[in-house]
Amino acid sequence: MLNLIGRRRCLSAELNSSNVLLFLDSSAIMQWHRSMTTSKRVQDRSKKKRVHDLEIVTEKHKILSKVLLIFEVLKQEPQQIISIRELDDYRRQLNLPKPHKISAFLRKSPKLFELYKDDRGILWCGLTKEAEDLVREEEAIIEQHSDKAAELVTRMLMMSVDKRLALDKIVHFRRDLGLPMDFRNHWVRRFPDHFRVVQPFKPYDESEFLELANWKSSWAMTELERKALGVMHAPDDHIPGPLSLSFPMKFPPDYKQVLSRYKGKIEDFQKREYLSPYADASELKAGTLEFNKRAVAVMHELLSFTVGKRLVTDYLTHFRKEFVMPQKLMRLLLKHFGIFYVSERGKRFHVYINSAYEGSELIEKHPLIVWREKVLSFVGYRKKKETMDTLTDLQEYEDDDMFESVSEDENVQVENNKLTMGSLEGDFLENESEMEIDEVCSAYRE
């Protein structure tokens, strides 16, 4: 009884103290709340440390991804035409909020999309002759490089802990790896010597898995090792283990104070031995220097697989467990700004391999990148100005033409006229979305 009375008294005291808060000045409460959250938008706080050239790449990608989505939707239609009313179902994926009209969006690229009305006055959209040629060209490029894409998918499986990955997660990499639209239903079954499709293992697993069929020792070598040794593949008896290779680095000009103050730490990191992404990492302890450097190696390898040497950061966060990467993945990416560059424009962040770019141009261009540049040259055709060379031009184009960056849902798959969305892990945006120079310094002191 005494314990019950005591608990009631404590509860009463807590309620009384809570009521006192109601009389606090509202402005003081708001100031306290702001101090506990982000005081400015990420975009506003990170302007001083942006790499202009790579931001141009990001803006171009955001525009291009919308056009490619419409291509994929139209390709699934029997006659490659769709009514604007049906296309409205993809409004969220196109990032085209109401009251903007999809027809107005399409009219901005008359060299790619045709609009016409039928006898009933219903507005339809189709591909122009130029767009149809581009679609066939992309299919030919993907088919031509299908074997290489199969190798990359196999190597992803080889890096994973259980040698299997959920198909729903691999879909996020589809465009970046140059995989075809029928990746899930047909393509994955074309390479039975590499991998196989298996059913969910647990009741709460919703997706099928892609599982490694055969370990290939000649593929268990990182892209950095291959370049250093000047080889295409490792020997057949290659066994992945500790590595001592340095990562290529390129620093933004605004980080001179970090470089001068922590040059020694950066050099120590580069010299530190780390475990190959293809080796067993089960014995590594999370949070250790060895664990973190291996995570950098894994991220570098995954980005090296992509045709654009870039990924949306969400895609990497989906694979934390499978590839044994730290929980605070964004912080690790931002800390190693010499290796990676994180573009923080919009709701979806993009991470790049710095050394893969010279200005805003990829040093080594995959044929799909050349093709996408061709597509972009047809986008937003304007009589007075046909090219968009600067970030300002791209921003104006995006604003004027309603390419609004509400949420870039690029991780989509259009199959059998259905759109399957991958889940997004956006919870890190508030807590780990951006690091100032001082935060980078703090990270290096850890």
pLDDT in tens, 332-353: 898 898 999 999 876 678 999 9
For the record, the structure tokens of 319 come out as 């694979």
Confidence at residue 435, expressed as pLDDT on a 0 to 100 scale: 39
Confidence at residue 272, expressed as pLDDT on a 0 to 100 scale: 93
**Which pLDDT band holds residue 201 (cuts at 50, 70, 90)?**
confident
Confidence at residue 212, expressed as pLDDT on a 0 to 100 scale: 97
**Which pLDDT band holds residue 205 (cuts at 50, 70, 90)?**
low
pLDDT in tens, 132-151: 999 999 999 999 999 999 99
Of the candidates 253, 341, 404, 301, the one whose C-alpha atom is nearest the C-alpha of residue 54 is: 341
**Which pLDDT band holds residue 221 (cuts at 50, 70, 90)?**
very high
Confidence at residue 334, expressed as pLDDT on a 0 to 100 scale: 87
Residue 445 has pLDDT above 60, yes or no: no
Beta bridge partners of 117: 123
* pLDDT, mean of residues 414-425: 37
* pLDDT, mean of residues 304-321: 91
Cα distance between residue 382 and residue 221, in whole Å:
47
C-alpha distances (whole Å) from 81 to each of 118, 132, 186, 229, 392 are 12, 12, 24, 50, 34
Confidence at residue 442, expressed as pLDDT on a 0 to 100 scale: 53
**Which pLDDT band holds residue 330 (cuts at 50, 70, 90)?**
confident
Mean of the per-residue pLDDT values of the chain: 78
User: Could you tell me if 357 and 22 are in contact, meaning their C-beta atoms sit under 8 angstroms apart?
Assistant: no
Percent of the chain scoring above 70 in pLDDT: 73
User: Could you tell me if 50 and 352 are in contact, meaning their C-beta atoms sit under 8 angstroms apart?
Assistant: no
Cα-based torsion angle of the residue sequence 319, 321, 323, 327 in order, rounded to the nearest 10 degrees:
80
What pTM was estimated for this model as a whole?
Answer: 0.78
**Which pLDDT band holds residue 49 (cuts at 50, 70, 90)?**
low
pLDDT in tens, 251-272: 877 777 767 788 888 899 999 9
Cα distance between residue 230 and residue 199, in whole Å:
40
User: Could you tell me if 128 and 169 are in contact, meaning their C-beta atoms sit under 8 angstroms apart?
Assistant: no
Residue whose entry in the numeric block shows the structure tokens 């799909």: 368
Residue 38 identity (one-letter amino acid): T
Q: Which range scores top for mean pLDDT: 104-108, 300-304, 387-391?
A: 300-304
* pLDDT, mean of residues 183-210: 87
**Which pLDDT band holds residue 35 (cuts at 50, 70, 90)?**
very low
User: Could you tell me if 427 and 317 are in contact, meaning their C-beta atoms sit under 8 angstroms apart?
Assistant: no
**Which pLDDT band holds residue 47 (cuts at 50, 70, 90)?**
low
Residue 275 has pLDDT above 80, yes or no: yes
Q: Of 429 and 81, which is predicted with more confidence?
A: 81
For the record, the structure tokens of 327 come out as 């929980």
Confidence at residue 346, expressed as pLDDT on a 0 to 100 scale: 66
Please, what is the Cα angle at 82 between 81 and 86, to 5 degrees? 170
For the record, the structure tokens of 150 come out as 């199969």
**Which pLDDT band holds residue 222 (cuts at 50, 70, 90)?**
very high
Cα-based torsion angle of the residue sequence 271, 277, 283, 289 in order, rounded to the nearest 10 degrees:
30
β-pairing verdict for 274-275 and 209-212: unpaired
Residue 400 has pLDDT above 80, yes or no: no
pLDDT in tens, 173-194: 899 999 999 998 899 999 999 9
Confidence at residue 373, expressed as pLDDT on a 0 to 100 scale: 96
Cα distance between residue 2 and residue 8, in whole Å:
10
Cα distance between residue 86 and residue 218, in whole Å:
48
Residue 32 has pLDDT above 60, yes or no: no
For the record, the structure tokens of 159 come out as 């890096």
Q: In this predicted structure, which of 85-94, 209-218, 233-242 has the lowest mean pLDDT?
A: 85-94
Cα distance between residue 5 and residue 237, in whole Å:
74
Confidence at residue 23, expressed as pLDDT on a 0 to 100 scale: 34
For residue 203, what are the contacts with CB-CB under 8 A and spacing of at least 6? Answer: none
For residue 390, what are the contacts with CB-CB under 8 A and spacing of at least 6? Answer: 56
